A and B are shown apart, each in its own frame.
Chain A
Amino acid sequence: MLNSIYDNVIKGDLESVKEGVTQALAAGHGSSDILNTAMIPAMQEVGRRFENEECYIPEMLISARAMHGGLEVLRPHLAKADVEPVGKVVLGTVKGDLHDIGKNLVGMLLEGAGFDVVDLGVNVSPEKFIEAIRQHKPDFVGLSALLTTTIPAMQATIDAFKDVGVRDQTIVMVGGAPVNQAFADKIGADIYAPNAASAAKKARAMLKRI
Chain B
Amino acid sequence: MFCVIGERINTTRKSVREAVVKRDVNFIQKDVKKQQAAGAHFIDVNAGARIGHEMEDMKWLIETIQPVIDVPLCLDSPDPSVLEMAYGMVNQPPMINSISLEKDRFDTILPFLKGKRCKIISLCMDDSGMPTGAQDIVDRARRIVYAFEDMGIKRDAIYVDPLVQPVSTDNAKGVMVLEAVEGIANELPGVHITGGLSNISYGLPKRPIINRIFLCLMMMAGMDSAILDPLDAATMAAIKTTEMLLGKDDYCTRYLQAIRAGEIIA
Contacts and interface: CB of A to CB of B under 8 A. Distances in A.
Q: Do A and B come from one complex?
A: yes
B165 A56 contact: no
A57 B204 CA distance: 7
Nearest to B204: A56
B171 A98 contact: no
B39 interface: no
Contact of B49 (A96, A99, A122, A148): A148
A59 to B, nearest CB: 9
Contacts of A101: 165-166, 169, 202
Nearest to B100: A98
Contacts of A56: 168, 203-205
B250 to A, nearest CB: 41
Interface string A121-164: 01100000000000000000000000011001000000000000
Overall SS of chain B's interface = loop
A154 B16 CA distance: 25
B205 A149 contact: no
Interface string B146-189: 00000000000000000001101101000000000000000000
B12 interface: yes
Contacts of B203: 56-58
A76 interface: no
A60 to B, nearest CB: 8
Contacts of B168: 56-58, 61
A178 interface: yes
Nearest to B10: A148
B123 to A, nearest CB: 10
A148 B130 contact: no
A61 B205 contact: no
Contacts of B204: 56-58
A94 B201 CA distance: 24
Interface of B: 12, 48-49, 51, 78, 102, 104, 125, 127, 129-130, 165-166, 168-169, 171, 202-205
A53 B205 contact: yes
A170 interface: no
Nearest to A122: B129
A166 interface: no
B130 A98 contact: yes
Contacts of A100: 129-130
A58 B168 CA distance: 5
Given A148-B48, A149-B78, A178-B12, A57 B129 contact: no
A99 B78 CA distance: 17
* Chain A residues touching B, range: 10 to 19
25 contacts: A53-B205, A56-B204, A57-B166, A57-B168, A57-B169, A57-B202, A58-B171, A58-B204, A61-B168, A61-B169, A96-B104, A98-B102, A98-B125, A98-B129, A98-B130, A99-B130, A100-B129, A101-B166, A101-B169, A104-B169, A122-B129, A148-B12, A148-B51, A149-B78, A178-B12
Q: Is the interface of A mostly helix, strand, loop or mixed?
A: loop
Contacts of A2: none
A24 interface: no
Given A58-B168, A100-B130, 4 more contacts: A57-B168, A57-B202, A152-B51, A178-B12
Nearest to A57: B203
A195 to B, nearest CB: 10
Q: Which residue of A61, A96, A104, A148 has the most chain B CB atoms within 10 A of its CB atom? A: A148
A154 to B, nearest CB: 12
Contacts of A149: 48, 78
A122 B48 CA distance: 22
A105 interface: yes
Contacts of B166: 57, 101
Contacts of A104: 169
Contacts of A57: 166, 168-169, 202-204
A99 B102 CA distance: 13
A100 B165 CA distance: 11
B105 to A, nearest CB: 9
Interface in A85-104: 96, 98-101, 104
Contacts of B104: 96
A117 to B, nearest CB: 17
Contacts of B171: 58
B12 A105 contact: no
A61 B166 CA distance: 13
